[in-house]
């Protein structure tokens, strides 16, 4: 379903077996060094989401090759199979191949039952390539706004385990956030308490 120009939601893109493989990989990436951490904003606040990065390390507001705001360790490599998955995702969502830009960043966000993410833009990448989002575990309310500001109008979309969302074109700089998750809604067979979201991106660096 096209939620806005360039914003395409593909429910159930990953079957249970694929979700389990991706979750197992996320669990190895989450371990230190350069593992899961919660980001401290320059304003002093702490994000309730915990994040691990592959390829490039995101910090407010930029990308580095080491965990500059954490343990200082080199960021884990971005695996080639994730890059192939990103190209397949864009191709399936849009029905056309993406421009030849190499996906080289993954941000893996973990939400416990209380975590949420305020409305923001993803503007630290130097590429206009679409962002690929994959959800695992608990469902959430995903709020999709406009490029004009963090306020209304917005559309609330339920994201479930296995869902794909691709954000490109005019939607690439839209404000978006996660006002709440729905604890206890993860597929029992997945074995995850909470929610994971992976975003695959092109750094342009």
Helix %, strand %, coil % of the chain (to 5)? 15, 40, 45
| Cα angle 95-134-159, degrees, rounded to a multiple of 5 | 100
Among 75, 178, 186, 190, binds ligand MD3 (CB under 6 A): 178
We find the least distance from the C-beta atom of residue 16 to Fe ion, in angstroms, to be 26
**Count of residues that interact with ligand MD3, criterion CB under 6 A:** 16
Query: Hey, how many other C-beta atoms are within 10 angstroms of the C-beta on 112?
Result: 14
Among 109, 127, 139, 203, binds ligand MD3 (CB under 6 A): 109
Query: Contact letters (x/-) for Fe ion, 30-49, by CB under 5 A?
Result: --------------------
Quick one: CA torsion of 198, 34, 115, 113, rounded to 10 degrees? 90
DSSP alpha helix (H) spans, the chain: 16-29, 80-94
We find the least distance from the C-beta atom of residue 180 to ligand MD3, in angstroms, to be 11
Residue facing ligand MD3 at closest CB distance:
197
Q: Which stretch binds ligand MD3 (CB under 6 A): 78-86, 88-96, 145-153, 174-182?
A: 174-182
Region 33-62 residues binding ligand MD3, contact defined as CB under 6 A: none
């Amino acid at each position: 379903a096209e939620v806005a120009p360039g914003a395409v939601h593909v429910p159930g893109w990953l079957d249970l077996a694929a979700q389990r493989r991706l979750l197992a990989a996320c669990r190895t990436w989450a371990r230190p060094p350069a593992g899961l951490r919660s980001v401290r904003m320059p304003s002093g606040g702490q994000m309730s989401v915990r994040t691990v990065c592959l390829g490039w390390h995101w910090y407010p507001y930029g990308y580095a090759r080491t965990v500059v705001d954490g343990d200082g360790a080199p960021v884990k490599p971005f695996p080639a199979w994730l890059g192939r998955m990103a190209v397949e995702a864009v191709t399936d969502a849009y029905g056309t191949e993406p421009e030849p830009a190499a996906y080289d960043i993954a941000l893996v966000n973990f939400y416990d039952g209380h975590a949420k993410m305020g409305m923001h833009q993803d503007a630290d990448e130097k590429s206009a390539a679409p962002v690929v989002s994959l959800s695992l575990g608990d469902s959430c309310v995903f709020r999709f706004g406009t490029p004009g500001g963090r306020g209304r109008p917005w559309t609330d979309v339920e994201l479930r385990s296995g869902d794909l969302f691709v954000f490109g074109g005019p939607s690439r700089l839209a404000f978006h956030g996660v006002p709440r998750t729905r604890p206890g809604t993860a597929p029992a067979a997945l074995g995850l308490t909470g929610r994971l979201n992976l975003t695959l991106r092109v750094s342009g660096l």
